[in-house]
Structure 1
Amino acid sequence: MMTTHKIGTREEWLAARLDLLDAEKELTRLSDALAQRRQQLPWVRIDKDYRFETESGNVGLGSLFKGRSQLLVYHFMFGPDYTAGCPSCSSIADGFNGITVHLENHDVAFTAVSRAPLAKLQAFKKRMGWSFDWASSGGNDFNADFNVWFSEQQQRDGTVEYNYRREPAMEGIRRGQTVAEWREEGSGSPMEQIAASTGTDIATYTRDRPGISAFVLENDKIYHTYSSYARGVDGTWAMYQWLDRAPKGRNEHGIWWRRHDEYGQAA
């Protein structure tokens, strides 16, 4: 079958590539400028005593810095009712799993935080072969305060504010659908597929959300410096950064990715 893509000479390719290079350089400059603007945001002091369950025991937010002056948190979607971590967050975690040692040697601590009990997080972490720190925030307001967890009532009332925007009320909330029930019914929407893969329904699954938050420790005081959500997390999803450079790009048709130990399994 003949390709429908434009075919050219090496000279034509080089001319087009140099034109694209100018645009790429401009994007790099814009990205550098945005990074500076992130660092110029005002800091907000954290006065609440958040407590987390970790491998080192029950600790405060300050302990997550592990002696560093900066802390990056990935808000991993793994609620108490989940039977497995969000597949999208799991794919993102595959990309950041190996960076901790580099960050820690540059005065930056890193941890994932989820609401699920620590034992459930540790079991999934072992299954995935990950090594990054992972803390449970199930007993505090951390996820709610940083806009990555919302109540069922908020969903019904239309008072969910995620990614700095208010979402409309969720109509017809269904609860308790199991993965087995979903499979018997057949695959539904992409969101239903993802929710079912975590052992939940759409409403339960979407009460937890993904995000990134940054904190700084200065003069024994902790400050919140930055948070980003939704497509704002896209730049940390390493898989997509590679696909954007592949010949066919993201080339997506529905939900194609899975947790890395699930490829080859029947849908």
Structure 2
Amino acid sequence: MTANPKAHQPEAAPPVVDRAAFDAALAEQVVREKEVTRASDRAAAARRRLPMVEVEDYVFEGVDGPVRLTELFGEHYLLLVQNVMYGVDWEAGCPSCTWAVDNLPATMSRLDDEGIAFAMISQAPVEKLEAWRRQRGWPHRWVSSGATTYHQDWGWTLDHGDYQGPVPGYSYYLLKDGTPYLTYMTGARGTEAILPVAHIMDRTVYGRQQDWEDSPEGWPQYPTYG
């Protein structure tokens, strides 16, 4: 097993100041963070005003047989889909997507309480998905889109440059009068909004310790996808 480099405390640390100086610096930071919060509120308000587009009622493959997109809603009219990177010929799920699934609420009934269904969709055969799901101990519903054009239709696969394969992200759906509609989707760093561990890391002194971050000299940094 590879040793975790983050288990060792770095030598670098912030300068030590008195309480008054700390309180003053923290107050300045609170002002910055309030600006972020207000900007996030404005983005959320705009998100609620987006139009929606009708989506085909795709027939996915579940562990017990065919499952329509509309069936993923269960008894709810809202659905969150995590598009998990797991290619048809892959032998394991994407490490980053796996980490993202591990970030989901420990008590998923909290989503049920809010009337939101949850499911995962990947291209790999359902047998591979089920094996990975069991290995990870996930209770979530996971279906295969391999026999459909779902991934291609909505941009969840790329075929350009030096990469060909699936990409991660989330799709948000509304079921209205029996028809599924896409109301919002996000990928890349847009996925971070629902990853609590990432936000916890951001607020520690060393941040995520990833090589893209703007950190002080001497702060530990490692390859983002290493």
TM over 0.5: yes
1:88 matches 2:103: no
Aligned pairs for 1:109-188 within 5 A: 109-150=117-158, 154-155=159-160, 169-170=161-162
- Cα distance in 1 for residues equivalent to 2:122 and 2:225: 24
Q: Which of 246, 252, 256 in structure 1 is aligned with 2:204?
A: 246
- Cα distance in 1 for residues equivalent to 2:195 and 2:77: 25
Q: Do the aligned partners of residues 98 and 5 (structure 1) sit closer, same or farther apart at CA in structure 2, a change above 3 Å counting?
A: closer
Secondary structure of the 2:80 match is strand
| 1:10-32 deviations in Å (ceiling 9; x for gaps) | 11111111111121122112112
- Is there any run of 5+ residues in structure 1 with no aligned partner, and where? 156-168, 171-202, 258-267
Alignment-derived partner of residue 53 in structure 2: 44
- Cα distance in 1 for residues equivalent to 2:112 and 2:74: 9
Q: Which of 194, 213, 221 in structure 1 is aligned with 2:179?
A: 221
The alignment of Structure 1 onto Structure 2 pairs a total of residues equal to 206
- Cα distance in 1 for residues equivalent to 2:90 and 2:195: 22
- Give the deviation of 1:149 after TM superposition: 1.4
Alignment-derived partner of residue 260 in structure 1: none
- Is there any run of 5+ residues in structure 2 with no aligned partner, and where? 1-9, 211-221
Alignment-derived partner of residue 193 in structure 2: 235
Secondary structure of the 2:165 match is coil
- Cα distance in 1 for residues equivalent to 2:181 and 2:138: 28
Q: Normalised by the size of structure 2, how large is the TM-score?
A: 0.85
Secondary structure of the 2:89 match is coil
Secondary structure of the 1:77 match is coil
| 1:73-93 deviations in Å (ceiling 9; x for gaps) | 111000111110000001111
Q: Is the 8 A contact 1:97 1:132 kept in 2?
A: no
Alignment-derived partner of residue 41 in structure 2: 32
Q: Which moved more, 1:59-68 or 1:227-236?
A: 227-236
Secondary structure of the 1:231 match is helix
After superposition, the CA RMSD in angstroms is: 1.9
Q: Is the 8 A contact 2:62 2:143 kept in 1?
A: yes
Secondary structure of the 1:207 match is strand
Q: Is the 8 A contact 1:100 1:109 kept in 2?
A: no
